[in-house]
Structure formats: C-alpha cells, structure tokens
Amino acid sequence: MVLILEDRRFFKHGGVDLKSVCRETVKACLGRRHGGASTIDIQFVRTVTGYRERTIKRKIYEIFLASLIQIRYSKIVILRSYLGCAFLGSHLRGVQSASLKMFNKPAVDLNLQEASTIAAMLVYPRPLRPTDNWNLRIQRRADYGQRIYISTKQRLEKKPSRKPG
C-alpha cells in the first residue's frame, strides 16, 4: 500500500523519478498546485539524515545520496529500511510500531484497510492527540489508496497472459 500511495514507479527508477520531477516542475512554473516528486529512496535519505530545511542544496544532496544507495542496496532492502524508520506520528517510528499502536497487531497481519491507514500516516503523521480532522484526512487518503489498489489489481487480472511461443 505504501508504494501505491507514495511511489508507484519505485521499482522502475534509480532513486529519482524524472517523470515526477518534470511533472511537478511544470506545475510549479505554471503556478498550479504541485506536490513533491520525492521517491521512497529520497524519503529514506531524508529520514536517515534528518535534514529538513527546504533548499535546493538539500534536495540535490538527497538526490545524490538516493542515487548512491541504488548502487549499494537492492530496492527491497531500501523499502524495508524506510518502512522500519519512517516517521508515522508522535512516538511512532516505522510501520511495526504504528501497527502495534493503532491496531494492536504486527504489520504483517494488517488487512487492506489497516495497511492503507498506516500508509496514509506517511503524509499525515499521527498527532499526540488525534483529532476528528486528522481521522478524516487519514480515512480519505486510505480510501484513495484502496481504490487505486483495487483498480490496479483488477486491471492486472484482466491482462491476457503471455503464452510462450
């Protein structure tokens, strides 16, 4: 679910998703609302380094480090490492601690709704005292992730299988 909400092309890029960077740059230049183009790799670098200032220098440094970790580590190792240390809210580091706090069970036992909720917390970390507004935001993002997951799964199931010829 994290890949669906955060970085759908995770396994296709080398740490930097140039398609997203171009899309968001064009939006910014046109004065349209734009989001980030950070990949899981870049988010992992930001989490590990702790750098938070919003500067071009920091972004270039993150891109450089994200590219370097691609050389040294597999995508699965990078994803697992990020999920193990990602900030998900007050006193919550990593999906395992968030899963135990939110649902009183290990992350591996989460159902689709619960996994969507945890993934949504990457954008909206859990505050010390959750509010109705926070719950609503989490629910909306989790529902969005589930819709994408279901439609993607249905699309993949409809694709004809290739027969060796």
pTM metric for this prediction: 0.81
- Residues 32 and 70 sit within 8 Å (Cβ to Cβ): no
The set of residues, in sequence order, having a beta carbon less than 8 Å from that of 31 and lying 6+ positions away, is none
CB atoms within 10 A of CB 107: 18
Amino acid sitting at position 113: Q
Kindly give the confidence (pLDDT) of every residue in the chain, 165 residues in length, as a single tens digit, with 9 standing for 90 and above. Answer: 888 888 888 888 888 888 877 787 787 777 777 666 788 998 999 999 888 788 888 888 888 999 999 899 999 999 999 999 999 999 999 999 999 999 999 999 999 999 999 999 999 999 999 999 999 999 999 999 999 998 877 776 765 555 554
Q: Long-range contacts: 147-152, Cβ < 8 Å, 24+?
A: 148/4, 148/5, 149/1, 149/4, 149/112, 149/116, 152/4
